[in-house]
Amino acid sequence: MTPQDASQSNEALCRLAPVIPVLVIDDASKARALAEALVAGGLPVLEVTLRTPAALDAIREMAQVEGGIVGAGTLLTPEDVAAAKAAGAKFGVSPGATDILLDACEAADLPLLPGIATSTEAMRLLERGYTVQKFFPAEANGGVPALKSIGGPIPQVRFCPTGGVSPANAPAYLALSNTLCVGGSWVAPKDLVAAGDWAGITELARTAAALPRS
């Protein structure tokens, strides 16, 4: 898979909904119901971060949900890429980007949404062919003003900002011309997941799915 192909694929995914849920899952037995609740609310693209022992099992469960497209976040190594692909991940997300990780994703035909924090990092990825990138951690890196400023000299790149994005600031990010969607965890709060309040999560998803974009 070429970087151009990966960017085209991820742009299509990012356009499916204004919010990609960023999920840290501790109990894989709840993964399928969680995915069904989010998809029912209008958020079909799901990122499961590889931060817990249950993550790969959760991806396997979510990959079976009709209408859902599950990807693996926090990809750091080629081993992460192979494990995510084997579990059924359709795309990958990384906090940053190294040549080794990019090579592994391209070889595995796993579309990567690579993370950047600076203009230089964005330019290096653009030079390789990645026109769709993740801005992370968004709020810690200056938030909406920073992302808007990056868009001035580098208009070819579109972003999915994550990290500190909330219902309060998501509309401002989505109003930027270089933002395709945002990533956020607020649509699946741990207390609702633990309680199995799938109706509550569907309602949060429905509200997020209705956020306007530029």
Could you list the active site residues? 47, 134
Strand partners, 21: 184
157 contacts: CB under 8 Å, gap ≥ 6:
122, 125, 126, 130, 131, 132, 133, 150, 151, 178
Yes or no: say if 193 and 166 are a contact pair by the CB < 8 Å rule.
no
Report the C-alpha gap between 208 and 37 in whole angstroms: 13
Q: Are 23 and 127 in contact (CB under 8 A)?
A: no
Cα dist from 113 to 29, 30, 55, 100, whole Å = 27, 26, 18, 15
Cα 121 from Cα 124, distance rounded (Å):
5
CB of 59 closer than 8 Å to CB of 70: yes
